[in-house]
């Protein structure tokens, strides 16, 4: 590509309305231009990077056995009414009408459309499992679109949806997708962490987010300093409990220890099998073991209700087998678990809860408590403090303490279970001829957001420093005063042909600009290598190669250039 025939669109000035560095640099490097709030044109340089990200995502999805399809951006409201999300989904869902006054939405996600598709196309267990994906435009009417394409209203997502007969099969595809996501972020060259996450309004039980670590991140991520444990702090408010040793003794009699799955615990405690299970970080007083983990078993309540109740949860269903007590608020259940030796109930202050109506499970024999008497009945316990998890808190995994860093959510995977398949009657005939509803997983990656996240992690005061895997060009040829020197022009042209012939993505800066302007533009755009062609080195049949990341300059023979860059 020759800059003279290209739309370089670089800008010197730092745009005043761009808060984060990636937004500033994407505007200055001529990658995107705002059309309206949260909507952007992708200029050639931006699109080249975006396409590289999409290529890596597509390649890893294909390798993991997912199959590409394409679904429409505009979706009929009936599907959303069928799933129940027509009512559930807030104002982020942009609703539109066609000329016949029929309702439609601009797709913020595609669970409904894909479930309807599979429901029609797949009839037999023999066609399963199936994992379908697309890389496609989404629209979410974000209340606060910001940071450029990082939180756009229109953005590109890779969304995959898997369909299974059993939870075991769902889990194995989920693990495959988890691995594929790790491959994607490693290939792109980003520092990232998979973290335990909340599945929010989308429903489901098991969920992980993938975060690129960066100061401008909107999420706080809590990590154990001694294990792989990591969770989104959004879910990890800590509750500090004061308990008496006697009270702890009382609870030794509760026996849920025989249960090994959430399902079994729910049965033992006679509670509705939960749709979502989260652990809660509990700090107990000294008399009690400090590494308690509590669980919130969420019923039909939406996450927002529970959040409003100020209760806190870190997700990890791993240790539910040791649950000691389950307390349910209307529609919501709260469980507590710890090591068998140190059982302590989770105590909830009714006044802090959104609902005043509690059912106490397990050892309390499903006693129904309302408002104030609830507190009296379990009066031996009091909440001393409810607060956010802070750095230094013990990790809920029992190993080490928590560190907290900022993260940008670039991916999110969920085990949805049958939320959509049940509502939309998506099932198949099994081997025995029985009709069975499918289990689903869904797996999203913010393709456009990754571009911004990569810049947040890879820049300096001169501009972007692309990881090689997603650089818009691998190398740029910068000729010194080509318009005055025939020799410089000749060598630059021949290098351009040789590099192009070797299938290396090369930009040839053939503008009539001063060298300083060219250097500044190419550093801003972040091309990994520059080849500087100048009179002085040509005397020895040499050119200078500069590495954008290390700033290292080496002088090499002209005929070694292609092999060096390759
Ligand atoms: P966020 O918490 O940032 O609002 P989300 O949890 O609502 O994201 P998901 O529904 O999990 O997003 O969608 C999958 C992925 O799509 C996210 O992990 C993120 O990378 C990307 N994404 C979501 N919203 C946006 C947006 N407004 N602009 C760009 N990318 C987005
Ligand atoms: Mg969102
Ligand atoms: Mg999120
Ligand atoms: Mg998410």
Task: Give me the pLDDT at residue 70, please.
Answer: 98
For residue 255, pLDDT beyond 60: no
What pLDDT, on a 0 to 100 scale, did the predictor assign at position 396? 60
394 lines ligand 1 (CB under 6 A): no
**What average pLDDT does this structure show over 508-518?**
95
State pLDDT tens for residues 452-496: 999 999 999 999 999 999 999 999 999 999 999 999 999 999 999
Model pLDDT, residue 232:
78
Question: Which residues, by Cβ under 5 Å, contact ligand 4, an ion?
Answer: 412
| Closest CA to ligand 1's atom 24 | 151
Is it the case that residue 291 has pLDDT exceeding 50?
Answer: no
Residue 197 is predicted with a pLDDT of 76
| Tens-place pLDDT, residues 420-431 | 999 999 999 999
- Please answer whether residues 240 and 316 qualify as being in contact, where contact means their C-beta atoms are separated by less than 8 angstroms: no
* Interior/surface letters 96-105, b for 16+ CB within 10 angstroms, e for the rest: eeeeeeeebb
Between the CA of 409 and the centroid of ligand 3 the distance, in Å, is: 6
Question: What token pair was written down for 428?
Answer: 């198949």
Cα of 221 from ligand 4 centre, angstroms: 13
8 Å CB contact between 427 and 215: no
- Ligand 1 contact via 446 beta carbon (within 6 Å): yes
Cβ neighbours of residue 67 closer than 8 Å, sequence gap 6 or more: 130, 131, 132, 133
Residues above pLDDT 90, as percent of the chain: 63
Nearest CA to ligand 1 atom 27: 151
> Would the CB of 207 count as within 6 Å of ligand 1?
no
Determine whether the shortest distance from the Cβ of 411 to ligand 1 is under 6 A.
yes
Count, in order, helices (H) and strands (E) of the chain.
16, 31
Confirm or reject: Cβ of 410 under 6 Å from ligand 1. yes
Ligand 1 pocket check for 155: Cβ under 6 Å: yes
CA distance 532 to 523: 13
Average pLDDT over residues 65-77: 98
pLDDT of residue 466: 98
- Residue whose CA is closest, atom 2 of ligand 1? 409
């Amino acid at each position: 590509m020759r800059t003279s025939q290209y739309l370089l669109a670089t800008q010197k000035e730092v745009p005043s309305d761009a808060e984060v560095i990636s937004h500033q640099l994407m505007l200055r490097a001529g990658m995107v231009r705002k059309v309206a709030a949260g909507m952007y044109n992708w200029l050639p340089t931006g699109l080249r990077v975006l396409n590289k990200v999409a290529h890596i995502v597509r390649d890893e999805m294909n390798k993991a056995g997912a199959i590409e399809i394409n679904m429409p951006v505009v979706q009929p409201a009936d599907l959303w009414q069928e799933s129940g999300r027509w009512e559930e989904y807030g104002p982020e869902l942009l609703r539109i009408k066609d000329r016949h006054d029929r309702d439609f939405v601009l797709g913020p996600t595609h669970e409904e459309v894909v479930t309807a598709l599979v429901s029609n196309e797949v009839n037999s267990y023999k066609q399963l499992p199936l994992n379908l994906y697309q890389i496609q435009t989404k629209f979410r009417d974000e209340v606060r679109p910001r940071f450029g394409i990082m939180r756009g209203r229109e953005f590109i997502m890779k969304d995959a949806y898997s369909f299974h007969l059993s939870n075991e099969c769902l889990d194995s595809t989920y693990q495959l997708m988890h691995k594929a996501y790790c491959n994607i972020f490693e290939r792109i060259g980003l520092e990232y962490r998979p973290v335990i996450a909340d599945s929010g309004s989308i429903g489901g039980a098991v969920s992980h987010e993938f975060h690129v670590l960066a100061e401008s991140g909107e999420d706080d991520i809590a990590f154990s300093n001694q294990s792989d444990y990591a969770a989104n702090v959004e879910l990890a408010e800590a509750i500090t409990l004061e308990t008496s040793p006697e009270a702890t003794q009382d609870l030794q009699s509760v026996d849920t220890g025989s249960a090994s799955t959430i399902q079994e615990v729910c049965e033992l405690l006679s509670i509705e099998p939960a749709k979502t299970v989260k652990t809660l970080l509990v700090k107990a007083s000294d008399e009690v073991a400090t590494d308690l983990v509590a669980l919130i078993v969420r019923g039909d309540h939406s996450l927002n209700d529970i959040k409003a109740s100020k209760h806190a949860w870190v997700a990890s269903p791993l240790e539910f087998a040791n649950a000691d007590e389950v307390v349910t608020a209307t529609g919501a259940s709260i469980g507590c678990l710890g090591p068998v030796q140190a059982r302590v109930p989770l105590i909830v202050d009714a006044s802090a809860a959104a609902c005043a109506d509690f059912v106490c499970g397990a050892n309390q024999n499903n006693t129904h408590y309302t408002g104030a008497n609830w507190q009296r009945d379990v009066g031996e316990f009091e909440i001393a403090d409810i607060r956010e998890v802070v750095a230094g808190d013990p990790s809920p995994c029992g190993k080490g303490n928590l560190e907290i860093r900022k993260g940008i959510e670039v991916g999110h995977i969920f085990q949805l279970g049958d939320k959509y398949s049940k509502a939309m009657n998506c099932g198949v005939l099994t081997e025995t001829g029985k009709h069975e509803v499918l289990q689903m997983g869904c797996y999203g990656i913010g393709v456009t957001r990754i571009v911004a996240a990569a810049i947040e992690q890879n820049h300096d005061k001169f501009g972007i420093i692309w990881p090689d895997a997603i650089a818009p060009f691998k190398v740029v040829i910068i000729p010194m005063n080509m318009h005055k020197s025939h020799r410089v022009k000749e060598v630059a042209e021949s290098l351009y042909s040789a590099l192009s012939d070797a299938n290396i993505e090369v930009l040839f800066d053939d503008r009539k600009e001063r060298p300083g302007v060219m250097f500044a533009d190419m550093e801003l755009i972040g091309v990994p290598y520059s080849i500087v062609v100048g009179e002085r080195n040509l005397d020895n049949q040499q050119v200078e190669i500069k590495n954008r990341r290390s700033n290292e300059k080496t002088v090499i023979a002209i005929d070694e250039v292609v092999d060096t860059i390759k």
